[in-house]
């Protein structure tokens, strides 16, 4: 089975902290970058971390008693 490469952009508050996490914890190889974004190779796909406000979420559902 062959999958088409994808590009996923994720907003982050702190590019340096996110860079450390994705590199050191996930072991992803860093690609191009600037002060405001960084790309990582995610098994042939691309993850881009961009400086910005992460998506707002609302607690909308329950699982069991939680």
Looking at residue 26, its pLDDT comes to 92
Looking at residue 59, its pLDDT comes to 73
Phi, psi at residue 10, to the nearest 5°? -125, 125
Q: Is the pLDDT of residue 5 over 90?
A: no
| Residues with Cβ within 8 Å of residue 65, at least 6 apart in sequence | none
What percent of the chain has a predicted confidence (pLDDT) above 90?
A: 62
Tokens 């042939």 correspond to what residue? Answer: 44
Using one digit for the tens of pLDDT, what is the confidence trace for 19-48?
Answer: 999 999 999 999 999 999 999 999 889 999
> Average per-residue pLDDT in the chain?
88
Q: Is the pLDDT of residue 52 over 80?
A: yes
């Amino acid at each position: 089975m062959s999958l088409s490469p994808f590009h996923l952009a994720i907003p982050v508050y702190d590019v340096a902290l996110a860079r450390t996490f994705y590199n050191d914890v996930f072991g992803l190889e860093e690609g191009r970058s600037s002060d405001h974004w960084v790309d990582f190779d995610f098994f042939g796909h691309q993850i881009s971390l961009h400086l910005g406000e992460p998506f707002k979420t609302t607690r909308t559902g329950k699982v069991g008693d939680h």
